[in-house]
């Protein structure tokens, strides 16, 4: 992070691009279902299936049924067996489709990873894959950067579209927070020397490819917990089904193996079991679509849990630059003379603040640019950290005139040193501006040997539009927002109030930031932050979710667990939403899956035992046509619902920021009640169709 200690030069913050307002939907291309079929079939391998306990049980059931059907075939049994296999296949298909979308992205990335030759500093040439950490390579315009590293010499414009998809070139220069370059990107102009920081095969692009392909995908903590629950439910239902046979024999209604398997498959949570990994892959995928790379799924889940968001003021809450808002003359001077002096002193000031002063004087006071003749008589005094002022010296016939603008204390000292006696009015104006959250710049001139203050320029931070609404949403979600700024507490408070954040940390140093993160974490809170500079690295590593800007240094990118390729700090909010959406999708489909069982019992139990105990036929509330058609309809429903929910699993459940209770109530109504009702309707409709099959109805 760049800590601003004086108002003049603005930090070269990232250009804020307006991020999409909501978590975007990843649509499912129906043809992917077909093209993913071979992959789905390959996943039938038991060694692969073993990792998904629910579907593994289905596969074993399908094998068992197939064996029994071969010995005593019937049309009904065959159809059941076919649909059991289809259930397994659909589950694999869901995963294959999710992975397939990642593979397409990986292919694009691989193209960027073409073989390049690296030119070492000593003149030798080596193939890029043989570069070692610490090697220094020269890259000139038109060449591809051979590996990840930091620019140690020079400045260049770089085309990073291969990884960010953004075609506008970015500037990379040695020193500072814009020194990191990524292998596979192309230098467009100038010459830079890059020190390689990543081993071949572990570069950023390699990691990205692995991520989107799902090759390095490991189950996340929450996914593991859910899997445990699903596995134990499967065991319970396995026990319920397996022990049913002795009771059935006792009742005089021994059941065929294929019927018991059908019951088991209908009861165990196949819907969520089939879609669980697809949901996880799709969640990572959604982040990638937002141009965010998560280094682990764990980080994505943690994002959903975040309690405290640390947001840098500049670039995140406010537009990157302060802008001249108002000119306040002091000491009886006119606004026009102040505007004239302010404009003169800012003509050579290329900072955004300086430019905004020129714009204000032009708009508000009709001041034009000066002629070449005028300009030739001026010599500009650049800003230095020591003087904390900039200005202009005019050499006129009527004597020299000096104009200075800068931080109040520095300019006032200059006035006093040059024989002036500033009144208290200046101090009051300065304080008033600071209290309102603005930044005061004092303008003074010295003419005829005596210096005097002309007035104050009110520079104002412009809060991005829509931020207050965003923070209100965050509050409803239970997330506390803390603004981090180098400004003084007075200014910080004013901006914090205007933007609607819950808290702020003023005059923040990297150590303060680190201390704040620790304090929050000691209270059990999860903290998310963004950062780009080397001095952010420790805090990024300490935070539970650390989003590094792609424009930042490699040490920042190493320390964080996510990288935002767009370098847009506001995106932290979307990342939180994606994390939540991932968990909600899992929860919703789990609820739906379990709720489905109720209807299936009402279909299958009367079908199995209505013959021996006529009273049980009362449970056939759907009035299904025949026992065979009832069982078949339940099995087919169970398989088709997986296919029907693939788009939902990939897209994620619709997420609207609201309180926990509201969200629970809404999702329970949709996926809980809906999960109970939907199969009653679905099974009845299927029964109407299935009963038309000869030998079933």
Identify which of residues 74 and 245 has a Cβ nearer to other proteins in the complex: 245
241: closest CA among 631, 615, 605? 605
Residue 173, strand partner residues: 155
Per rule CB under 8 A, is residue 240 in the interface with other proteins? yes
CB atoms within 10 A of CB 418: 16
Using CB under 8 A as the binding rule, the residues of this chain from 206 to 225 that contact other proteins are 221-222, 224-225
Residue with Cβ nearer other proteins (160 or 597): 597
Write out the DSSP string of 16-60: PP---SSPPP-PPPTHHHHHTHHHHHHTTSHHHHTTSHHHHHHHH
State yes or no: residue 390 binds other proteins (CB under 8 A).
no
Q: Which amino acids are annotated as binding site for ATP, given as ranges?
A: 349, 353, 383-390, 405
User: Strand, coil or helix: what is 160?
Assistant: coil
Q: Are 142 and 134 in contact (CB under 8 A)?
A: no
Residues from 412 through 451 that contact other proteins (CB under 8 A): none
Measuring CA to CA, how many Å separate 402 from each of 316, 345, 395, 449?
38, 9, 9, 10
Query: Considering only residues 459-478, where is the footprint of other proteins by CB under 8 A?
Result: 475-478
Nearest to 571 by CA among 10, 23, 1: 23
Tokens describing residue 201? 């095969």
Q: How far is CA 260 from CA 77, 237, 246, 621, in A?
A: 11, 11, 12, 21
SS3 670: helix
Kindly indicate which of the ranges 100-108, 346-354, 597-605, 688-696 contains the residues binding other proteins, using the contact rule CB under 8 A: 597-605
Minimum CB distance to other proteins, residue 623 (Å): 16
Here's the x/- map for other proteins, 54-93, by CB under 8 A: it reads as ----------------------------------------
Q: Of 504 and 671, which has the nearer Cβ to other proteins?
A: 671
Nearest-approach distance from CB 601 to other proteins, in angstroms: 5
Alpha helices in 268-322 (DSSP H): 270-289, 297-305
> Binding of other proteins at residue 228 (CB under 8 A)?
yes
- Residues in contact with other proteins, shown as a per-residue x/- string from 528 to 567 under the rule CB under 8 A: ----------------------------------------
What are the binding residues? 349, 353, 383-390, 405, 532, 536
239 is a contact residue toward other proteins (CB under 8 A)? yes
Shortest reach from residue 309's CB to other proteins, in Å: 12
Distance CA 527, CA 518 (A): 9
Detail the residues annotated as belonging to a binding site for Mg(2+).
532, 536
- Binding piece for other proteins, criterion CB under 8 A, among 97-105, 229-237, 396-404, 536-544: 229-237
Identity of the residue, 169 or 611, whose beta carbon is nearer to other proteins in the bound complex: 611
Residue 616 in contact with other proteins, rule: CB under 8 A: yes
Cβ closest to other proteins, residue 145 vs residue 479: 479
Q: Candidates 127-135, 150-158, 242-250, 350-358 — which segment interacts with other proteins by CB under 8 A? A: 242-250
For residue 333, what are the contacts with CB-CB under 8 A and spacing of at least 6? 454, 455
Residues 625-684 that bind other proteins (CB under 8 A): 655, 659-661, 663-665, 667-668, 671-672
Give the one residue of 70, 117, 215, 598 binding other proteins; rule: CB under 8 A.
Answer: 598
| Contacts (CB under 8 A) with other proteins, residues 475-514 | 475-480
CB of 89 to other proteins, least distance (A): 26
Shortest gap between Cβ of 609 and other proteins (angstroms)? 6
Q: Are 298 and 171 in contact (CB under 8 A)?
A: no
Q: Is 155 in the site for other proteins (CB under 8 A)?
A: no
Contact between residue 353 and residue 477 where contact means Cβ atoms under 8 Å apart: no
Cβ closest to other proteins, residue 76 vs residue 609:
609
Q: Which one among 145, 342, 583, 636 touches other proteins, defined by CB under 8 A? A: 583
Residues between 258 and 297 that touch other proteins (CB under 8 A): 263, 267
**Smaller CB distance to other proteins: residue 86 or 529?**
529
Site for other proteins in 294-333 (CB under 8 A): 301, 304-305, 307
Report d(CA 468, CA 293) in Å as an integer.
Answer: 27
Judged by CB under 8 A, does residue 618 bind other proteins? yes
Provide the pairing of β-strand 186-187 with 155-159: antiparallel
Least distance (Å) between residue 126 CB and other proteins = 46
Contacting residue, 587, 627, 679, 682, with other proteins by CB under 8 A: 587
Largest CA distance in the chain: 121
- Stretch of residues binding other proteins (CB under 8 A), selected from 51-59, 79-87, 121-129, 585-593: 585-593
Beta strands 292-294 and 562-564: pairing type? antiparallel
Kindly state the number of chain residues that form the binding site for other proteins, as judged by CB under 8 A: 75
Q: How far is the CB of 57 from other proteins (least distance, A)?
A: 14
Which one of the listed residues 135, 177, 312, 566 is annotated catalytic? 312
Least distance from other proteins to the Cβ atom of residue 221, Å: 6
| Cα separation, 651 vs 655, whole angstroms | 11
The C-alpha atoms of residue 400 and residue 61 are separated, in whole angstroms, by 97
- The radius of gyration computed from the CA coordinates of the chain, to the nearest angstrom, equals 34
Q: Which of 56, 76, 83, 237 binds other proteins (CB under 8 A)?
A: 237
Among 490, 601, 640, 643, binds other proteins (CB under 8 A): 601
If one asks whether residue 581 binds other proteins (CB under 8 A), the answer comes out as yes
Q: Nearest distance from residue 248's CB to other proteins, in Å?
A: 7
Distance CA 405, CA 440 (A): 10
CB of 70 to other proteins, least distance (A): 27
Rounded to a whole number of angstroms, the minimum distance from the CB of residue 669 to other proteins is: 11
Three-state SS string across 81-139, please? HHHHHHHHHHHHHHHHHHHHHHHHHHHHHHHHCCCCEEEECCCCEEEHHHCCCCCEEEE
The CA distance from 344 to 273, in Å, is: 70
Among 88, 91, 310, 584, interactor with other proteins by CB under 8 A: 584
Binding other proteins by CB under 8 A: which of 65, 591, 633, 638? 591
Handedness of CA 485, 487, 489, 495 (dihedral sign): negative
The 3-class SS string of 441-469 reads EEEEEEECCEEEEEEEEEEEEEECCCHHH
| 3-class SS string, 381-444 | ECCCCCCCEEEEEEEECCEEEEEEEECHHHHHHHHHHCCCCCCHHHHHHHHHHHHCCCEEEEEE
The answer to whether the CB of 484 falls within 8 A of the CB of 508 is: yes
285 classed as catalytic: no
- Catalytic residue positions, numbered: 312
């Amino acid at each position: 992070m760049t800590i601003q200690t004086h108002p003049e030069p603005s930090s070269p913050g990232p250009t804020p691009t307006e991020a999409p307002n909501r978590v975007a939907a990843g649509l499912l291309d129906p043809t992917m279902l077909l093209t993913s079929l071979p992959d789905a079939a390959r996943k039938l391998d038991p060694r692969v299936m073993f990792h998904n306990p629910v579907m593994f049980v289905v596969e074993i059931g399908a094998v068992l049924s197939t064996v029994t059907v071969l010995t005593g075939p019937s049309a009904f049994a065959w159809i059941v067996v076919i649909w059991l296999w289809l259930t397994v296949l659909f589950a694999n298909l869901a995963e294959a489709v999710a992975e397939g979308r990642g593979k397409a992205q990986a292919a694009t990335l691989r193209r960027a990873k073409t073989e390049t030759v690296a030119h070492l500093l000593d003149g030798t040439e080596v193939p890029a894959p043989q570069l070692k950490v610490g090697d220094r390579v020269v890259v000139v315009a038109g060449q591809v950067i051979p590996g990840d590293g930091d620019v140690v010499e020079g400045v260049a414009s770089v085309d990073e579209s291969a990884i960010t998809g953004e075609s506008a070139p970015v500037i990379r220069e040695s020193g500072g927070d814009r020194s990191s370059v990524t292998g596979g990107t192309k230098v467009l102009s100038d010459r830079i020397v890059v020190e390689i920081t990543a081993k071949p095969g572990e570069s950023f692009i390699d990691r990205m490819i692995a991520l989107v392909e799902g090759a390095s995908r490991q189950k996340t903590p929450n996914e593991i917990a859910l899997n445990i629950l699903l596995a134990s439910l499967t065991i319970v239902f396995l026990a319920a089904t397996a022990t049913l046979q002795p009771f059935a024999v006792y009742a005089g209604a021994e059941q065929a193996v294929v019927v018991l398997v059908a019951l088991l498959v209908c009861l165990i949570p196949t819907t969520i079991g089939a879609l669980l990994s697809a949901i996880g892959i799709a969640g990572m995928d959604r982040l990638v679509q937002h141009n965010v790379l998560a280094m682990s799924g764990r980080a994505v889940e943690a994002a959903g849990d975040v309690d405290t968001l640390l947001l840098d003021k500049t670039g995140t809450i406010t537009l990157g630059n302060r802008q001249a808002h108002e000119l306040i003359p002091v000491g009886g001077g006119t606004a026009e003379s102040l505007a004239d002096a302010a404009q003169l002193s800012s003509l050579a000031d290329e900072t955004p603040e300086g430019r905004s002063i020129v714009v204000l004087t032009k708009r508000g006071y009709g001041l034009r640019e000066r002629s070449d003749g005028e300009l030739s008589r001026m010599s500009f005094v650049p800003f230095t950290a020591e003087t904390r002022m900039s200005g202009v010296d005019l050499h006129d016939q009527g004597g020299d005139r000096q104009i200075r603008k800068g931080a109040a204390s520095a300019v006032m000292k200059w006035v006093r040193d040059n024989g002036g006696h500033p009144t208290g009015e200046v101090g009051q104006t300065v304080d008033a501006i600071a209290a309102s959250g603005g930044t005061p710049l004092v303008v003074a001139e010295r003419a005829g040997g005596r210096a005097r203050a002309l007035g104050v320029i009110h520079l104002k931070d412009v809060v991005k539009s829509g931020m207050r609404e965003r923070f209100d949403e965050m509050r409803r979600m239970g997330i506390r927002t803390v603004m981090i700024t180098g400004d003084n507490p007075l200014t910080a408070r004013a901006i914090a109030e205007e933007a609607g954040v819950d808290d702020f940390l003023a005059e923040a140093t990297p150590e303060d930031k680190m201390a704040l993160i620790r304090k929050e974490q000691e209270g059990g809170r999860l903290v998310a932050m963004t950062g780009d500079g080397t001095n952010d690295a420790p805090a990024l590593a300490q935070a539970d979710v650390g989003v590094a800007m792609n424009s930042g240094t490699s040490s920042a990118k190493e320390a964080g667990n996510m990288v935002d390729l767009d370098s847009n700090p506001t995106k932290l909010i979307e990342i939180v939403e994606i994390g939540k959406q991932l968990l909600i999708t899992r929860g919703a489909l789990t609820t739906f899956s379990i709720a489905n069982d109720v209807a299936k019992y009402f279909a299958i139990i009367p079908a199995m035992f209505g013959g021996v105990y006529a009273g049980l036929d009362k449970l056939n509330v759907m009035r299904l046509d025949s026992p065979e058609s009832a069982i078949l309809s339940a099995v087919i429903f169970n398989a088709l619902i997986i296919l029907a929910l693939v788009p939902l699993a990939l897209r994620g459940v619709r997420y609207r920021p609201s309180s926990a209770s509201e969200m629970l109530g809404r999702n329970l109504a949709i996926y809980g009640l809906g999960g109970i009702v939907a199969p009653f309707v679905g099974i009845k409709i299927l029964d109407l169709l299935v009963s038309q099959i000869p030998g079933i109805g």
